[in-house]
Structure 1
Amino acid sequence: MSKGKKGKSVPKFASEQEEREFWEANDSSDYVDWDGARVASLPNLKPSTKTISLRLPEGLLDSIKIEANKRDMPYESLIKAWLAEDVKESRQG
């Protein structure tokens, strides 16, 4: 890795925790020449997900499960698809 504008080399770290603490306390521009940086493309990176709890009326959940079964997909996936579609439409105005 190239040295930063101030000529400092990035030290070797014994653990991720040690590295995390180092970067929390130091300015990366002292160690990395960001003028030479390029945008990275990570096409296979999966977005992180977060588990939530959602209370639905039993009749609604049963209807969703029936629709998911018709499409041969898990009902949670169908809910995610419907939510994503609705949000996309809302953004388009």
Structure 2
Amino acid sequence: MKKQIKKPIPKFKTEAQERQFWETHDLTDYFDLSKPVRVSMPNLKPTTASISIRLSQNVLEKIKAQANKMDVPYQSLMKVWLNEKLDESFRQT
């Protein structure tokens, strides 16, 4: 089987230009999808949003006490717990 040469990906000045390009071009013309390559992006930070949540003082104190025992910030612990619960919920559906 002859190896196909894939097209080079153009350079883009803006994200909008890149988005428009990929909306109108076939990915398989540029990538050999039969040979995936693992990519590492160590500097990529997930997008976060600040929210406000009202908790009873008792619940907040318990969360802070548990976080203190685990030597982690209480807000980080809350994010981990929420994520674990969401994962569990999705596995059940």
> Structure 1 length as normaliser, TM-score?
0.59
Percent identity of paired positions between Structure 1 and Structure 2: 45
The structure, 1 or 2, with the larger RCO (C-alpha pairs under 8 Å, 6+ apart) is: 1
Mapped to 1, the partners of 2:32 and 2:70 lie a distance apart of: 51
Choose 10-19 or 42-51, whichever is displaced more. 42-51
Counterpart of 1:77 in 2: which secondary structure? helix
> Counterpart in 1 of 2:54?
55
Q: Any idea what the Cα deviations from partners look like across 1:50-83, whole Å, max 9, x if unmatched?
A: 3343221222112211221222211112222333
Question: Would the aligned equivalents of 1:3 and 1:9 in 2 still touch at CA under 8 Å?
Answer: no
Q: Mind listing any 5+ residue stretches in structure 1 that lack a counterpart?
A: none
Mapped to 2, the partners of 1:13 and 1:89 lie a distance apart of: 40
Mapped to 1, the partners of 2:32 and 2:87 lie a distance apart of: 37
Q: For this pair of structures, how many residues does the alignment match? A: 87
Question: Would the aligned equivalents of 1:3 and 1:32 in 2 still touch at CA under 8 Å?
Answer: no
Q: Mind listing any 5+ residue stretches in structure 2 that lack a counterpart?
A: none
Cα displacement (A) at 1:85: 4.1
The yes-or-no answer on 1:23 pairing with 2:58 is no
User: Compared with structure 1, are the counterparts of its residues 38 and 15 closer, same or farther at alpha carbon in structure 2 (3 Å cutoff)?
Assistant: same
Mapped to 1, the partners of 2:83 and 2:61 lie a distance apart of: 21
Cα displacement (A) at 1:41: 4.7
> Structure 2 length as normaliser, TM-score?
0.59
Considering only aligned residues, what root-mean-square deviation do their CA atoms show, in Å? 3.2
1:69 maps to a residue whose letter is N
Of residues 36, 39, 56 in structure 2, which corresponds to 1:38? 36
